[in-house]
Chains A and B, each alone.
Chain A
Amino acid sequence: MKTALYIFVMAGVTYLIRMIPFTFFRKPIKSRFFRSFLHYIPYAVLSAMTIPAIFHSTGSIITAIAGTVVAIIFAYMELPLIVVALAAAAAAYITGFFV
């Protein structure tokens, strides 16, 4: 029962963090700076989340680097998301046999 309460509180806080800005920000933002800021936020967030974490994502920095390099090359060629993502995993998997 105590665990249920903790899970409920965890889920409630997580939901409110997502819901409040999404629901109550209805008017277009006027400030050009803030609009630009929000335009760049997705790229900035993803970049900070990916680097350096990607290098520790496979348990071996060598296989992770192989996967990263393949992902960047495939992404540069503008292949679909799923292709890039799976190619990165395949590269890490194959490299794993040699390290």
Chain B
Amino acid sequence: MKPFVRGMYHGLPIALGYLSVSFAFGIKAVQCGLSAAASVITSAANLTSAGQAAGVDIIAAGGTLIEMVLVQLVINMRYSLMSLSLSQRLDKGFSLPHRLAASYGITDEIFAVCSAQRERLKPSYMYGMILVAFVGWVSGTAIGAAAGQLLPESINSAIGIVLYGMFLAIIVPPSKKQKSVLLVVTVSATLSIAFKLFLKSISAGFAVIICAAAAAALGAALFPVQDEEVSQ
């Protein structure tokens, strides 16, 4: 299978999960006073869930541009960690223009699936995945913005778990094989629960950064990886 097609195939569950999330975003954006076109442009230009939701809230509340910048920085800062992680796994074909283009599509889910690949990442593989995910994200927004509640609530709420199910499918198998990964995953989840329970004032995006950095640092200190593992 060609890398582009393989990327598209791997992007299918992402697109499916995005459909429901972006559908909800489309409804919300229109409620916040954006036109359907502005909602779709927002989704096409940002390709991120939490940042967009916070962004349209700021627009609706008449917030300042400084506030917009700061909120996006905090919520989306996790992407810089993901980009950094992926930058170490790129194929030689990843020239500057490819890097500039593909970095647009680094979402939580695309990062997750790309990280799970054994071979080095080719630009065409990432483009295939980003394209399919983009179509899911943007069309879901359009449907949500234009048509409001189309799906029955029972289906819509069940779809909410799709992306998390995919995350579990990525972290469970390596946790079964490597106790180092199991430790990292468990510590990160435990910290995340603690943040949710006791530190509600810290935004979800920021909490993820702190929990993940702490757990990964612990894993790196206790179980430093061999060179072969990293170069995969």
Contacts and interface: CB of A to CB of B under 8 A. Distances in A.
Contacts of A15: 103-104
Interface string B172-192: 111110001100111111011
Given A36-B223, A40-B219, A82-B16, A17 B79 contact: yes
A53 B193 CA distance: 9
A96 B204 CA distance: 27
B146 interface: no
Contacts of B207: 48
A7 B42 contact: yes
Given A32-B224, A40-B180, A54-B161, A14 B185 contact: no
B82 A57 contact: no
A50 B168 contact: yes
Chain A interface mostly helix, strand, loop or mixed?
A: helix
B162 to A, nearest CB: 5
Given A13-B69, A14-B46, A78-B173, A40 B215 contact: yes
By size class, the interface of chain A is 35 or more
Contacts, number: 300
A85 B77 contact: no
- Could you say which interface size class chain B belongs to? 35 or more
Contacts of B45: 7-8, 10-11
A23 B10 CA distance: 23
B148 interface: no
Contacts of B162: 85-86, 88-89
B76 A13 contact: yes
Interface string A21-38: 111011011001111111
Given A9-B69, A89-B158, A93-B158, 13 more contacts: A10-B52, A18-B79, A35-B88, A36-B220, A41-B82, A42-B115, A43-B185, A44-B213, A46-B108, A48-B215, A86-B16, A88-B162, A92-B161
Interface of A: 3-11, 13-15, 17-23, 25-26, 28-29, 32-54, 57-60, 63-64, 67-68, 71-72, 74-76, 78-82, 84-90, 92-93, 96-97
29 contacts: A6-B59, A10-B55, A11-B46, A17-B72, A17-B79, A21-B80, A23-B96, A25-B87, A38-B88, A39-B220, A40-B184, A42-B111, A45-B108, A47-B184, A47-B189, A48-B188, A48-B192, A49-B208, A51-B189, A57-B164, A81-B13, A81-B113, A82-B13, A84-B166, A86-B162, A87-B165, A89-B161, A89-B162, A96-B157
